[in-house]
A = this chain, B = another copy of it.
Amino acid sequence: MEGERIVALLHGRDRAGLVARVSGWIYARGGNILHADQHRDRHEGIFFQRIEWLPAGDVSEEMRLFEDFAHRDIEMETKLLRSSRKPSIVVMVSKFEHCFSDLVLRCRSGEINCSIPCVISNHGDLREMSEMFGLPFYYIPVEKGAKAAAEAEQLRLIRESGAELVVMARYMQILSENFLESCPAPVINIHHSFLPAFAGAKPYHQAYERGVKLIGATAHYATKDLDEGPIILQMVERVSHRDNVEDLMRKGRELERQALANAVRLHIEGRILTYKNKTVIFD
């Protein structure tokens, strides 16, 4: 059996020799590099790298040493993961089940390597399904004028769960700027259009009205600017004049499911770096 692997995500100011120095450091300490992928935004002068290796020594110690090296010697920001970890994600839902059930089944089967400590909803509709899957379901209605209180309760649950990620699986409420700033984990949202087209409410209706020939779905990190966060994944499907709004929704569900699930998987596997409201995806 193979030992535990370390994954490092690095980014910082580009300069000559970075690839050589990072790989040289690992090589010198007896590590065996399994994958290394880098990218430079030459216009911005930023270097990005994802590197995965089998360390020769103790994993925790090697991670600590690598972090020191990255900060001190090459001045890179770094995020380190170890292959044995199994992070947890909190899923936020409203009434639609398709993204939720899809995500749960992928976590159960191990396709996405994480656990779901709890489900938070502003509606009671998916309680039964959550319970079928054996997941704790917290119904936190978001009453007019009481959004702050609801969000405080949501944040409390997220903090207690120790979640590494919050997933909005068609959660149909806008999270406040305050929520996003206070949230201890990044938030991934699925928007049911090909952004930046049809941002905002009822994108399938907008798409139908405009008479587009393709519909889309966009998984992105949530930021305070609604539907404006860094895009992770986009998918599209053909439509025609024969498709009414319900057909668009049906076709869209496929796209939403897949875009969201794959975005979550990429995040969990440490394959995403964000900068300047964009993403670098090492897949």
A19: B residues at CB distance < 8 A:
19, 23, 27, 33, 36
| Dominant secondary structure of chain A at its interface with chain B | mixed
In the complex, what distance in Å separates the CA atom of A139 from the CA atom of B276?
43
In the complex, what distance in Å separates the CA atom of A242 from the CA atom of B48?
11
A33: B residues at CB distance < 8 A:
16, 19-20
Contact yes or no, A250 B16, CB < 8 A: no
A210: B residues at CB distance < 8 A:
195-196, 231, 277-278
Chain A 19-49 per-residue mask, 1 if CB under 8 angstroms from chain B, else 0: 1110110110000111011111111000000
Query: Does A152 belong to the interface (CB within 8 Å)?
Result: no
Contact yes or no, B195 A196, CB < 8 A: no
In the complex, what distance in Å separates the CA atom of A232 from the CA atom of B213?
7
Query: Does A280 belong to the interface (CB within 8 Å)?
Result: yes
Q: Which residues of A contact B (CB under 8 A)?
A: 16-17, 19-21, 23-24, 26-27, 32-34, 36-43, 97-98, 101-102, 105, 109, 111, 132-133, 194-198, 210-214, 216, 230-236, 240-242, 244, 250, 253-254, 258, 276-281
Query: What are 5 inter-chain pairs, A to B, with CB distance below 8 A?
Result: A19-B19, A34-B42, A111-B250, A196-B198, A241-B281
